[in-house]
Structure 1
Amino acid sequence: MTPAPEKKLAPAVASKPKPFMAFVMDEVTRSQLERAAEDAGFAGDVYVGDTDAALATLAEVVPARHLVLDLADRTDLVAAVNAFAEVCQPDTRVLVLGAVNDVAVYRALLDLGVSDYLVKPVAGPQLTAALVRLGAEAQPDTGDKAVSAAGRGTVTGVLSARGGAGASTVAVNLAWALSVEAPGKCALVDLDLRFGTAAMMLDLEPGRGFKEALDNPGRIDSLFMERAMVRATDNLSLLAGEEDVAAEPAVAEGALDVLFDRLAGAFDHVVADLPRWRLGDHVKHLDRLFLVTEPTLAGLRDALRLKDAAQALAGADLPVLIVLNKGGAAKKGELTEADAVKGGLPKPAYVLPDEIKVQSQAQATGKPMVQIAPRAKASRVIVEMARDLAVDDGDAVPAKSLFGLILGGRTKEAGP
Structure 2
Amino acid sequence: MDAQIVTIVGARAGAGASTVAANLAVALARSGTGPVCLVDLDFTAGDIATMFDAEADEGGVPEAHVATRLSRGLYAILAPTVLGDPGRVPERVVSELLASLSTMYAHVVVDAPAAVNKHVVTALEYSHRQVLVTTPERPALRALGRYLDMLDTLGHDRRLRSVVINRTNPDNGIPTAEVELAARTPIAAWLPATPDIPLSINTGQPLAAVDPDHPFCHSLLSLTH
Structures share a fold, TM > 0.5?
yes
- Once the two structures are superposed, what CA deviation does each residue of 1:123-148 show, in whole Å capped at 9, x if it has no partner? xxxxxxxxxxxxxxxxxxxxxx4xxx
Note closer, same or farther for the CA distance 1:339–1:380 as it changes in structure 2 (3 Å cut). Answer: same
1:378 maps to 216
**Corresponding residue pairs, total:** 222
Q: Is the 8 A contact 1:289 1:318 kept in 2?
A: no
Q: Is the 8 A contact 1:307 1:320 kept in 2?
A: no
Alignment partner of 1:159 is 2:9: yes
Q: Offset at 1:230?
A: 0.5
* 1:341 maps to which of 157, 180, 195: 180
1:231 maps to 69
SS in 2 for 1:242: coil
Note closer, same or farther for the CA distance 1:194–1:336 as it changes in structure 2 (3 Å cut). Answer: same
* 1:307 maps to which of 148, 154, 160: 148
Q: Is the 8 A contact 2:110 2:123 kept in 1?
A: no
Partners in 2 of 1:343 and 1:241 — Cα distance? 32
Partners in 1 of 2:215 and 2:70 — Cα distance? 24
1:205 maps to 55
TM-score by length of 1: 0.50
Note closer, same or farther for the CA distance 1:191–1:272 as it changes in structure 2 (3 Å cut). Answer: same
- Once the two structures are superposed, what CA deviation does each residue of 1:189-219 show, in whole Å capped at 9, x if it has no partner? 000022111111011011465x335xxxxxx
2:95 maps to 257
SS in 2 for 1:349: strand
- Once the two structures are superposed, what CA deviation does each residue of 1:214-271 show, in whole Å capped at 9, x if it has no partner? xxxxxxxxxx533x21101120001012344564451214222211100111111000
Give the aligned residue type for 2:124.
V
2:157 maps to 316
Please list every run of 5 or more consecutive structure 2 residues that lacks an aligned counterpart in the other structure. Answer: none
Partners in 1 of 2:139 and 2:78 — Cα distance? 29
1:180 maps to 30
Q: Is the 8 A contact 2:165 2:189 kept in 1?
A: yes
Give the aligned residue type for 1:206.
A
SS in 1 for 2:187: coil
SS in 1 for 2:154: helix
1:69 maps to none
Please list every run of 5 or more consecutive structure 1 residues that lacks an aligned counterpart in the other structure. Answer: 1-144, 146-151, 214-223, 389-416
Partners in 2 of 1:346 and 1:202 — Cα distance? 32
Partners in 2 of 1:197 and 1:339 — Cα distance? 31
Q: Is the 8 A contact 2:188 2:222 kept in 1?
A: no
Note closer, same or farther for the CA distance 1:305–1:162 as it changes in structure 2 (3 Å cut). Answer: same
1:33 maps to none
Note closer, same or farther for the CA distance 1:247–1:261 as it changes in structure 2 (3 Å cut). Answer: closer
Q: Offset at 1:318?
A: 4.9
1:280 maps to 121
SS in 2 for 1:351: strand
Q: Is the 8 A contact 1:207 1:230 kept in 2?
A: no
Q: Offset at 1:344?
A: 5.9
- Once the two structures are superposed, what CA deviation does each residue of 1:52-97 show, in whole Å capped at 9, x if it has no partner? xxxxxxxxxxxxxxxxxxxxxxxxxxxxxxxxxxxxxxxxxxxxxx
Q: Offset at 1:312?
A: 3.3
Q: Is the 8 A contact 1:337 1:348 kept in 2?
A: no
Task: Choose 1 or 2 for highest CA Rg.
Answer: 1
Partners in 2 of 1:318 and 1:353 — Cα distance? 25
CA RMSD between the two structures: 2.1
Partners in 2 of 1:344 and 1:203 — Cα distance? 33
Note closer, same or farther for the CA distance 1:212–1:360 as it changes in structure 2 (3 Å cut). Answer: closer
Q: Offset at 1:317?
A: 4.7
TM-score by length of 2: 0.89
Q: Is the 8 A contact 1:289 1:320 kept in 2?
A: yes
Note closer, same or farther for the CA distance 1:344–1:180 as it changes in structure 2 (3 Å cut). Answer: closer
Q: Which has the higher contact order (CA 8 A, sep 6+)?
A: 2
Give the aligned residue type for 2:122.
D
Give the aligned residue type for 1:156.
V
Partners in 2 of 1:363 and 1:295 — Cα distance? 21
SS in 2 for 1:171: helix
